[in-house]
Amino acid sequence: MVFKALHHDPDGPLLLPNAWDHASAAALAGQGFAAIGTTSLGVAAAAGLPDGHAATREETLRLARRLGGGAFLLSVDGEGGFSDDPAEVAGLARELARAGAVGINLEDGRADGTLTPAPVHAAKIAAVKAAVPDLFVNARTDTYWLPDPRTAPEPETRRRLDAYRQAGADGVFVPGLTDPAAIQELVAYLSPSGVPLNILYSPTGPTVPELAALGVRRVSLGSLLFRVALGAAVTAALDVRAGRDVAPAAPTYGEVQELSGGGDATEI
């Protein structure tokens, strides 16, 4: 499986940028990214819906059908599977695979600030792997974003990752973990199993080369690109309103048209 092999590339970790629509995915693929993920925040925000509330199942599938099977490998952010029923999550996985997705990200964080019980999340993972064995399941735990005040995050993280690995997860994801020493310790803990560790890039955390040196095998950008793009759009509008020059980093109208296979047209 090509996508799985990218997590074990000796040249360095898989840097996975996350898109929110066709244009963003096509633009990233055009820069040589072989694999692209989706961002649940971008998908939800574009539809005027909250992220992490299991409200965007159809929007997520619609985007996967638009992007899947193209020139790049697609991994889909499926929140928590949009259900706690393993059979329903397995059904989602089948639809994503039919759409051309090669991976799914499943998180155990809940909108109410709690974590899904580990056995429940593990059951979802097992159901997905039984339904679509070739779909790469990246099992995410939010122990660092939603810590239990009764326990330190390190042992709870390991306990959950053990359960998810045993359920069949192909990779594990710990967003919010940025301390180099803690990352290195977790890599060493996971090393005997061969399951790759995914870390969410943080502008205030280690760089990609530093994460590579720590043994991280996948680096996700999450919602960063969507938030940067949204911020740049607002900044440009404010600059125009204030009579300031707009930074010339934007692609041209024609370049954006080409992302969707459009021909020459009058620029608007």
**DSSP conformational letter for 263:** -
Q: Is the pLDDT of residue 267 over 60?
A: no
Q: Which pLDDT score is estimated for 266?
A: 47
DSSP 38-55: E-HHHHHHHTT--TTSS-
Digit-coded pLDDT (tens) for 27-84: 999 999 999 999 999 999 999 999 999 999 999 999 999 999 989 999 999 999 999 9
b/e 199-210 (16+ beta carbons within 10 angstroms → b): bbbeeebbeeee
Mean pLDDT calculated for residue range 235-260: 91
Q: Is the pLDDT of residue 197 over 80?
A: yes
